[in-house]
Amino acid sequence: MAGNWQQQVGERFDRAAPDYDTYAEVQRESARRLAQLISSNPQSILEIGCGSGALTQQLSIYFPEAQITASDIAPSMLNIAKQKLNAENINWTILDGESPDESDIIEGAYDLIISNMAFQWFADFETALNGMKKYLKPGGQILYAIPGERSFSEWQKTLRSLNLPSGLLEFPQPSTENILEEQSIEVFYYDALTFLKSMKKIGAHKPRSGYQPLGYTIKKACDKFDQDFAGRVTWHIIYGQLTK
């Protein structure tokens, strides 16, 4: 089940790759903040879900002497990141971060495993994170940013007011002791359709299991959202950590 899910995730982000950077404003902001939260001086870094390279670029600036392995499940995303960043200290690899091939990742090799807005796509968030610990050196750290449960509250409120179901994924909620910081980022989209298009363009349009599309009622939801919120959508970002 997890393998099939991850394959679907990879395929969606492969298709989204050409337009991703145009719509990934929030991902760039969270990448900047995540890099600032690194409190150590890691010499070996594994990045999970590098996407088009927003966090990879930050890592190369902050830690020019570190050996960085940047990975993604979507080959097209990886190719875009590689074209942007031509640094000798970055190795690129296709990798399923939730179920990595043991030949592609080394146990006990990394000071830091880091991920920007990717862990929410894991089929089993907690199990995957705990499983990553074996790839860390003693005292190593896992650091990540994910959307929190209050993300897109305006759209969710609109659907509830109309008694319509939401197809948005239920984002994982880390344990309180693992949360470093929370952040709200407000984005102004032109209207509801622009917001929904943006979700598709960044590969984030896979609905939750069992969801039935709204059909013609989507127009009613969009009209109400536009009336009440005029394109304003809040992203709730959680920055979390685990230490070995």
Tens-place pLDDT, residues 187-204: 999 999 999 989 888 876
Q: Is 42 helix (H, G, I), strand (E, B) or coil?
A: coil
pLDDT of residue 208: 59
Q: For residue 208, with 0-12 CB atoms within 10 Å meaning exposed, 13-18 middle and 19 or more buried, which class applies?
A: exposed
Average of pLDDT values for 210-226? 81
Sign of the Cα torsion 229, 230, 234, 235 reads: positive
**pLDDT tens digits along 6-55:** 777 777 777 877 888 888 999 999 999 999 999 999 999 999 999 999 99
pLDDT at position 99 = 87
- pLDDT, position 104: 77
- pTM comes to 0.92
Residue 240 has pLDDT above 50, yes or no: yes
The pLDDT tens digits for 70-127 are: 999 999 999 999 999 988 899 999 999 998 887 778 899 999 999 999 999 998 999 9
Q: Terminal CA-to-CA distance of the chain, rounded, Å?
A: 28
The pLDDT of residue 15 is 83
The whole-number pLDDT of residue 1 equals 41
Rg (C-alpha) for the chain, rounded Å, is 18
- SS3 of residue 36 by DSSP: helix
pLDDT class of 229 with cuts at 50, 70, 90: very high
CA atoms within 13 A on the CB side of 54: 22
Q: Provide the residue count of the chain.
A: 244
CA proximity to 150, closest of 127, 167, 133, 171: 171
Query: What digits encode the pLDDT tens for the residues 118-169?
Result: 999 998 999 999 999 999 999 999 999 999 999 999 999 999 999 988 877 7
Closest CA to 186 of 235, 116, 151, 117: 235
Say if CB 41 and CB 62 are below 8 A apart. no
- For residue 212, the model assigns a pLDDT of 60
Name the DSSP class of 135.
Answer: G
With residue 67 as reference, give the H or E element that holds it: strand 67-72
Confidence of residue 66 (pLDDT cuts 50, 70, 90): very high
Mean pLDDT within 199-218: 70
How far apart CA 61 and CA 28 sit, in angstroms, is 15
